[in-house]
Every structure is written in structure tokens, then in C-alpha cells.
């Protein structure tokens, strides 16, 4: 599945092997059965806590946490590959948010970390107070858009550079259904915020949010791959006017354009992961990858729906699951316009550029 | 074969990459004529020749050819550095059809006699080649070409017409795809023929394009006698040979350099027009810039394939689509902010960096030449996505 015909991913053989293993492990655990995904939609908590524990056992929650702290100690490239598989399977488990929380608990040196890494504690980070942002909120007001919040055992409440740990029983939670059948939570502390478990973590929080943006971009990539594969199958089998519709040039060109967007998204996401691992890239290249993945996802999902015709508009057909997941992931950790503006601010042009 | 002695004695492949880069960079900077840096139009032979001959004298004219044929024998990785350095210094594309198209084809398919006869003359600059593929009724459907070569015993007689022949007026030799079997399936009746442009019966008529430049020509063949030894490869096998060389063209045409150049010009224009900070422009500009950087990321993947010595797949077509369409969008944005300045034929305010009208026109043919965007999409659909 990793074998994108668009050239080589720029990884050495060792890395390619470790990435391949992550993908295999992910495909084994997540499966390709959409019935599971469908059953969980529009329910709470909307994901499978037992599967989260399996993800913990597989080392996914602490994928990038150093081994000395109980993590798996892998890099961005493995993280992106895993997120891509999650997207391909359309899994509702909030792995990116769990990885974010694990990074913050590790930075805080908190002793809840082992329970979190095993998937026993479901700690979700409540960091934003408005839509379309990558800036952590300050103060103690409500935190919004916490994914799959109804399943949390704890919330990690971010206020500027401070982290407060709140058991779920200490917050008021309001949920809103999302297009993909999951939900967002609005989290309000019941009383005054408890003393922070760590302070002055501004940089660590920014870095963790950035990593979450890259994981989200990779998850979008997986969703695109899944929808596009379904679309190609459909174009090769659906017949109209006495022939398979994939023979029609108007449809071929639409499919080619989708493929171009997919290739650009893969190039940007994999290059970002590679450069972060090499220490040659930073937030700018992540911003570019999230911007591309977001726009490409909307374009590819729309093309997939259009190429399917009416069947694509039915809830029983799986492509719609990916389309509506994309609607959730595209604005998550910043949408395309936000990230393009960030990229421009982070990487000023030289006169020769 | 009898080896052709390369003029460059040193095997530059042995240099570490960075040292190689510095070595060629300092030579290029010292020897490239300043007056033809970053030309706006494709240069003619009289403008190009001094640089071309310097390369020839240095022995650096054919970096990709094996050393036993007089080239530099550079590895793919070193060739990429070579190209990057030429682009960095704004070096003009030369009359390079003999170097990049014909030479490699003769090396691969030519006879010993053909190699000895033609390769040294390319290396010395004595033969300047042009490419006769397209015809008035065979553009995108190139395999339908009808210029024919009829067997007349010890020679062929060629009749027909080629078009869009780049820099034909500068060339003294032309390589042709010609029909040698009218009964066979269209791809199977085509042969590859080398023709001396001074032969009786050849007429070159320049075509003035929208840049008001005579880059292309029509070439007419009226009972032109061509010796039989000028056939390369087997009779009726010319199509496959020509096709084998096209992926080079697609990666070359997918290089981000045109879009990068246009974006720099757009930025300068926006500053001059006072719109650089306007939110609507800034958002559009950011989109172009991210598109360019993503194109570079995609390009880097194909370069990595070449560096690993692996063949490029059919999906290299997407690079050309992305590059040419981005180049056009950038120039369209430039036109949209330029006002009446965009209607000028020449640069505005006498500043050759501010030339939005010309830049817009310059970007138009990129989605047409080298296989139109539509043909590239057909290739992706059929050969990559396997949609029959």
C-alpha cells in the first residue's frame, strides 16, 4: 500500500523498512472493515476503548516518545505513515489527539504518562477556544472542538504555556455531532483550575501542535488514497453507453487531476516528515504540507464523489465516510489558508528565490 | 568501437558532489557571457555560439554522454548538479538537440560507422541539429505522421513537411521521423533518418510566434535524396526509439525553474504596483508560492529516482502538468495586477524585470509543447491509472 508509484520516498532502506512495518501493523490492527466504523458513528464515545488499548500495546500512542520514557522512540516518518493508515481505514479513534497529550505529559514529566501510553487513561488535550487556529488559548474559559471528548478519562487543559490536568468528572462537557459521526466537546472546568502540572511549556506545546498538524495532513492523505482507489475501481467496472466509464476522456482527466493532487500532497507530507527527522525542516514545511493536504483532500474527495455519480451521494456507500472525515480533518489544527499565511510568515523569501 | 578521446582529461565523477559543484560553478561564472544571462527568448545560434564553443573546447558540451564517446560520463546525480548550476546562473538553453536527443540515440542504436561519423562533429560544434517530428496534421497524434521516405535503391527519397521545428534555421542537420511503411499499423511504419540540411530540395520557412520570435519553422522536403547509411536503427523501428527519449523531455519540462522565475517577477511587479500587502493579493501570492514549493517537493522525488539510476515511470507526466499550469497561473496573476502595463509589448518603465505582458505570452505555449496538458492527462489515465 505504501508503494506510491510517484517515485521513491526519500528514505534510506532502514527507514523504509521501519515505515513498512508500521504500515503492516496498522493494517493488521485497523482492518479494512467499514462496518465497525459505521457502527460507531453518531454514538458516544464513538470509538472503541479496547482498540485504543491495543494501539497502546502496539506502541502507537507513544510512537514518538523516547524509549527511556516508555515510548516507542520512532520518528516523524513513522508517525506520518501510521496516520496515513488511520486515515485510509477511516478509524474514529482520536490517535493524533492522544499522541499530542502523550507528548505534553512527557514534557511535563507527569506520572499519568504510563497509563496513557498503554491506552488505559484516555487523556485529551483541550487547547483551543476558537475555530481555525493553532494558537493555544489563555485563561480558564471554555475549550472547544475537543475531538471525541465523551470518551476521555482526563483532560489536559492548556492555558498559554501552562498545563492543567483535570479528571473528566471535574469538567462540564457539552458535545456536538460532527459530519463524520464523531463529535466535538466543549470543556468547562467545574470550579477554579487546579494548580498546573507544568508551566513555561509554550515551545513544547507549539511543537506538539505542529506535529499534530502534520499527522492530520497524513491522515487526510490516507483518506484520499482510499477514496481514490474506490474511484478507480468504479471507473474500471461501471458501464454506461455500453462500455466502462473509465474509457471516457472527461472522466479520465478528472481522475488524472485528482492523482496529481494526491501526488503533490504525498510529496509535501513525506518531505516534511523527512526533513523534521533530519533536523533540516521546521514549522514552515509542516505548514506547507497541511495546506496542501487540506486543499488536495477537498479536491480529491469531491472528484471521487462526482466520478461515482449518484451512488457517491448515498450514506451506504463508503466513499462518503472519507469525504465527511475530510471535512473534520481539513480545519483541524489549522486549515489551508491559515497554514499558507503561516508558511509565508515563517519562511520569508530571499531575493533570489 | 574505437573510443573517442574526451577533451576533458579528468573524470569529474570522481569529485565529491560539493567540490564538483564549486568546480563547475566557478568555471561557468568565469566563462558564461554576461549579456546572455536570463534571456527572455530562446536564443539563436549566432547568440549562443560563443558559449556553445566554449563548452565544446572545454570538453563539457555533452555531460551525459559516456566518456568513451567523448562525453563527461557524469552520473545522474552529477548531471542534476550540472543542470542546477546552469539554471542558477541563468544560462540560456543552447541549440542542444544534438546533445540531448540525437547523441544518446546514436550511442544507443547507431552503427559503429554512424558513431564515428556523427558524434565527434556534435562534440566539436560543427554539426548543429534540429528535430523533425511534428507535422501539420500530426501534432498530438504524432504517430500519424506522413512525411515519407521511399526506397530508391542506394538512397531514400523524402517528401513531406515538418512543423514547429525549433531553431531549424540554425541547424545544418535534422533528424526525422519518416513513414517507411504505409500499410503497417501507424506506429510500426516509422523510421529514424538523419538528413543534411544543405541537401537540395529542403526549404525552411520561419514561423513568427506570439512573442514575435522566429523560434519555430516549417521545413519542407521536396524529393530530397538521403543516403541509406543515414538510417538509424532498424527500418520501421523509429517510433520506439524516439519514444524512449521522451521521459527526459518530460522531467526537463517539469523543472520548477520557469515558475520560480515567474514568481520572482510577480513579486517585483506587486511591489512596484503597490499591491504586495493587499490581503487578496497576498493570499493569491501565498497560494502560488506554496504551489511552487510543493512542485519542488514533487520534482525532488523524480530527481531521486534518476539519482538512484532507475527509469522514470509514465507518471512523470504529472510534473509537466503541474509546472506549466502553475507558470501560467502566476503570469495571469501578474497581468491582473498590472493594469495597462500588462498591455505593453515591452517592459514597463524600461525595467526588464517588469514585463508582465511578455511573461504572460511566454507562458502560453508551455501547456502545448512537449505534449499538451490534455495528452499528459491521457497518459496518466491510460498508463498510470490503467483506465484503458
Domain ranges of chain A: 202-346
| Chain B closest-CA separation from residue A234 CA (Å) | 10
Within-domain flag for B108? no
Residues B293 and B360 in one domain: yes
Instruction: For residue B107, tell me if it sits in a domain.
Output: no
How is B256-299 classified by DSSP, letter by letter? THHHHHHHHHHHHHHHHHT-TT-HHHHHHHHHHHHHHHHHHHHH
Whether A83 and A95 have beta carbons less than 8 Å apart is answered as yes
Residue tagged 560553478 (cell numbers)? B25
Asked if A122 and A213 touch (Cβ cutoff 8 Å), the reply is no
Q: Which of B75, B94, B113 is the last residue of a domain?
A: B94
pLDDT given at position A8: 46
Kindly state the percentage of chain A with pLDDT values over 90: 92
Residues belonging to chain A with any Cβ–Cβ distance to chain B shorter than 8 Å: 5-10, 232, 235-236, 244, 246-247, 249, 251-253, 255-257, 259-260, 263-264, 267-268, 271, 288, 291-292, 337, 340-341, 343-344, 349, 351-353
Q: Is B387 on the interface with A (CB under 8 A)?
A: yes
Same domain, B232 and B249: no
Inter-chain residue contact A252 with B305, CB threshold 8 Å: no
pLDDT at A237: 96
Closest CA in chain A for residue B89: A352
Whole-Å CA distances, B243 to A170, B59, B163, B240, B314: 70, 28, 19, 5, 12
What whole-number distance in Å separates Cα of residue B124 and Cα of residue B330?
A: 40
Domain span holding position B317: 245-384
Instruction: Give the pLDDT confidence of B119-130 residue by residue, as tens digits.
Output: 999 999 999 999
B305 vs A326, more confident: A326
> In a 3-state reduction of DSSP, which class is residue A314?
coil
Average pLDDT estimate for B90-116? 93
Inter-chain touch A260–B385, beta carbons under 8 Å: no
| Judgement on whether residues B251 and B376 belong to the same structural domain of the protein | yes
pLDDT of A246: 96
CB proximity list for A148: less than 8 A, separation 6 or greater? A45, A46, A47, A92, A93, A94, A97, A124, A182, A183, A185
Residue corresponding to grid cell 462500455: A243
Residues of A in Cβ contact (< 8 Å) with B290? 288, 291-292, 340, 343
Number of folded domains in chain B? 3
More confident residue, B196 or B309: B196
Q: Which tens digits make up the pLDDT trace of A185-229?
A: 999 999 999 999 999 999 999 999 999 999 999 999 999 999 999
Domain identity same for B256 and B229 = no
Does residue B232 share a domain with residue B136? yes
Q: Are residues B254 and B366 in the same domain?
A: yes
Mean pLDDT across the stretch A261-269? 97
Residues 6 or more apart from A50 whose CB is under 8 A from it?
none
Spell out a b/e string for A324-344, using b for 16 or more CB atoms within 10 Å of the CB, else e: bbbbbbbbbbbbbebbbbbbb
Asked if residue B193 and residue B65 are part of one domain, the reply reads no
Judged against a pLDDT cut of 60, whether residue B55 lies above it is answered with: yes
- The pTM of this model reads 0.89
CA B289 to chain centroid: 25
State yes or no: pLDDT of A3 exceeds 70: no
Residues B201 and B255 in one domain: no
Residues A39-84: pLDDT tens digits?
999 999 999 999 999 999 999 999 999 999 999 999 999 999 999 9
Chain B nearest-CA residue for A229: B385
Residue B208's CATH number: 2.40.110.10
- In-domain check, residue B118: no
Q: Which helix (H) or strand (E) holds B123?
A: helix B112-123
* Cell numbers standing for residue B302: 523524480
The x, y and z cell numbers of residue B288, run together, are 502560488
Q: Which of B208, B236, B264 is the last residue of a domain?
A: B236
Domain ends where: B236, B259, B278? B236
Q: How confident is the model at residue A6, as a pLDDT?
A: 41
B7 band by pLDDT with thresholds 50, 70 and 90: confident
pLDDT of residue B75 exceeding 90: no
- Candidate from B315, B376, B382 with C-beta closest to A6: B315
Burial of B257 (0-12, 13-18, 19+ CB in 10 A): middle
Instruction: Give dist(CA A292, CA A286) in Å, integer.
Output: 10
Please indicate, yes or no, whether residues B201 and B251 belong to a single structural domain of this protein.
no
Same domain for B232 and B136, yes or no, is yes
Looking at residue B146, its pLDDT comes to 96
B381 touches chain A (CB under 8 A): yes
The correct CATH number of A202-346 out of 3.40.50.1820, 1.10.1740.10, 1.20.140.10, 3.40.50.300 is: 1.20.140.10
Confidence tier at A15 by pLDDT (50, 70, 90): confident
Question: Do B87 and B136 belong to one domain?
Answer: no
**Residue B7 domain flag:** no
Which whole number is the average pLDDT over B203-212? Answer: 94
- Work out the mean pLDDT of chain A and round it to a whole number: 94
Looking at the partner chain, which of A232, A267, A288 has a beta carbon nearest the beta carbon of B298? A267
- B312 lies in a domain? yes
Bridge partners (DSSP) of residue B155 are: B227
A170-174, A261-265, A331-335, B303-307: segment of lowest average pLDDT: B303-307
Minimal CA separation from A202 to chain B, in Å? 27
- Whether residue B298 and residue A10 make contact (CB cut-off 8 A), yes or no, is no
The pLDDT tens digits of the residues spanning A221-262 come to: 999 999 999 999 999 999 999 999 999 999 999 999 999 999
Rounded Cα distance between A304 and A232, Å, is 9
Which residues of B have a catalytic role annotated?
A: 249
Amino acid at each position: 500500500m505504501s508503494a506510491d508509484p510517484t517515485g521513491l520516498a526519500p528514505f534510506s532502506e532502514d527507514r523504509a523498512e521501519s515505515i513498512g512495518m508500521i504500515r503492516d501493523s496498522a493494517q493488521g490492527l485497523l482492518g479494512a472493515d467499514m462496518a465497525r466504523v459505521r457502527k460507531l458513528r453518531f454514538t458516544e464515545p464513538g470509538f472503541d476503548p479496547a482498540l485504543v488499548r491495543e494501539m497502546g500495546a502496539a506502541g502507537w500512542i507513544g510512537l514518538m516518545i523516547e524509549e527511556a520514557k516508555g515510548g516507542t522512540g520512532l520518528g516523524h516518518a513513522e508517525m506520518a505513515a501510521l496516520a496515513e493508515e488511520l486515515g485510509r481505514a477511516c478509524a474514529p479513534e482520536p490517535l493524533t489527539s492522544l499522541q499530542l497529550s502523550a507528548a505534553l505529559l512527557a514534557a511535563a514529566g507527569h506520572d499519568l504518562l504510563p497509563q496513557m501510553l498503554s491506552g488505559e487513561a484516555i487523556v485529551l488535550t483541550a487547547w483551543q477556544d476558537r475555530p481555525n487556529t493553532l494558537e493555544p488559548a489563555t485563561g480558564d474559559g471554555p475549550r472547544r472542538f475537543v475531538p471525541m471528548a465523551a470518551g476521555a478519562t482526563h483532560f489536559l487543559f492548556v492555558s498559554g504555556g501552562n498545563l492543567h490536568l483535570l479528571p473528566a468528572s471535574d469538567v462540564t462537557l457539552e458535545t456536538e455531532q460532527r459530519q463524520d459521526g464523531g463529535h466535538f466537546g466543549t470543556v468547562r472546568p467545574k470550579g477554579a483550575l487546579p494548580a498546573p502540572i507544568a508551566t513555561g511549556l509554550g515551545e513544547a506545546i507549539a511543537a506538539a501542535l505542529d506535529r499534530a498538524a502534520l499527522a492530520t495532513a497524513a491522515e487526510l492523505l490516507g483518506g484520499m488514497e482510499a477514496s481514490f482507489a474506490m474511484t478507480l475501481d468504479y471507473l474500471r467496472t461501471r458501464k454506461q453507453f455500453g462500455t466502462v466509464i473509465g474509457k471516457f476522456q472527461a472522466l479520465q482527466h478528472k481522475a488524472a487531476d485528482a492523482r496529481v493532487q494526491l501526488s503533490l500532497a504525498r510529496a509535501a507530507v513525506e518531505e516534511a516528515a523527512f526533513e523534521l527527522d533530519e533536523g533540516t525542516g521546521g514549522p514552515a514545511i509542516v505548514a506547507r504540507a497541511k495546506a496542501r493536504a487540506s486543499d488536495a483532500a477537498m479536491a480529491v474527495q469531491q472528484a471521487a464523489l462526482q466520478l461515482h455519480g449518484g451512488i457517491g451521494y448515498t450514506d451506504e456507500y463508503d466513499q462518503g465516510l472519507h469525504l465527511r472525515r475530510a471535512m473534520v480533518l481539513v480545519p483541524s489544527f489549522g486549515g489551508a489558508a491559515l497554514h499558507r499565511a503561516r508558511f509565508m510568515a515563517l519562511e520569508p523569501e530571499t531575493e533570489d528565490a | 568501437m574505437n573510443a573517442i578521446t574526451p577533451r576533458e582529461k579528468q573524470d569529474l565523477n570522481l569529485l565529491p558532489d560539493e567540490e564538483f559543484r564549486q568546480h563547475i560553478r566557478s568555471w561557468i561564472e568565469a566563462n558564461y557571457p554576461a549579456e546572455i544571462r536570463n534571456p527572455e527568448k530562446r536564443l539563436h545560434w549566432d547568440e549562443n555560439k560563443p558559449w556553445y564553443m566554449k563548452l565544446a573546447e572545454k570538453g563539457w558540451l555533452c555531460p551525459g554522454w559516456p566518456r568513451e564517446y567523448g562525453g563527461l560520463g557524469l552520473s545522474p546525480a552529477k548531471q542534476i548538479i550540472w543542470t542546477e548550476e546552469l539554471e542558477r546562473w541563468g544560462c540560456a538553453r543552447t541549440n542542444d538537440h544534438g546533445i540531448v536527443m540525437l547523441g544518446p540515440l546514436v550511442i544507443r542504436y547507431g552503427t559503429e560507422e554512424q558513431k564515428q561519423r556523427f558524434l565527434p562533429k556534435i562534440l566539436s560544434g560543427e554539426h548543429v541539429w534540429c528535430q523533425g517530428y511534428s507535422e501539420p496534421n500530426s501534432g498530438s497524434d504524432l504517430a500519424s505522421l506522413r512525411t515519407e521516405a521511399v526506397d530508391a535503391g542506394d538512397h531514400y527519397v523524402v517528401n513531406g513537411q515538418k512543423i514547429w521545428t525549433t531553431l531549424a534555421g540554425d541547424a545544418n542537420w535534422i533528424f526525422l521521423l519518416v513513414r517507411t511503411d504505409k500499410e503497417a499499423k501507424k506506429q510500426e511504419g516509422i523510421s529514424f533518418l538523419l538528413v543534411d540540411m544543405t541537401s537540395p530540395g529542403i526549404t525552411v520557412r520561419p514561423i513568427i510566434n506570439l512573442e514575435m520570435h522566429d523560434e519555430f519553422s516549417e521545413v519542407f522536403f521536396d524529393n530530397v535524396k538521403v543516403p541509406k547509411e543515414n538510417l538509424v536503427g532498424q527500418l520501421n523501428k523509429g517510433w520506439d526509439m524516439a519514444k524512449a527519449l521522451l521521459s527526459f523531455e518530460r522531467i526537463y519540462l517539469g523543472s520548477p525553474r520557469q515558475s520560480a522565475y515567474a514568481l520572482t517577477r510577480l513579486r517585483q511587479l506587486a511591489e512596484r504596483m503597490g499591491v504586495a500587502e493587499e490581503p487578496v493579493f497576498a493570499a493569491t501570492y501565498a497560494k502560488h508560492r506554496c504551489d511552487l514549493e510543493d512542485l519542488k517537493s514533487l520534482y525532488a522525488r523524480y530527481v531521486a529516482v534518476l539519482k538512484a539510476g532507475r527509469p522514470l515511470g509514465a507518471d512523470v507526466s504529472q510534473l509537466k502538468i503541474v509546472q506549466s499550469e502553475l507558470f501560467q497561473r502566476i503570469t495571469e496573476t501578474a497581468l491582473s495586477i498590472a493594469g495597462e502595463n500588462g498591455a505593453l509589448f515591452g517592459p514597463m518603465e524600461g525595467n526588464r524585470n517588469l514585463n508582465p505582458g511578455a511573461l504572460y505570452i511566454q507562458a502560453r505555449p508551455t501547456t502545448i509543447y512537449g505534449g499538451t496538458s490534455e495528452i499528459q492527462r491521457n497518459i496518466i489515465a491510460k498508463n498510470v491509472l490503467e483506465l484503458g
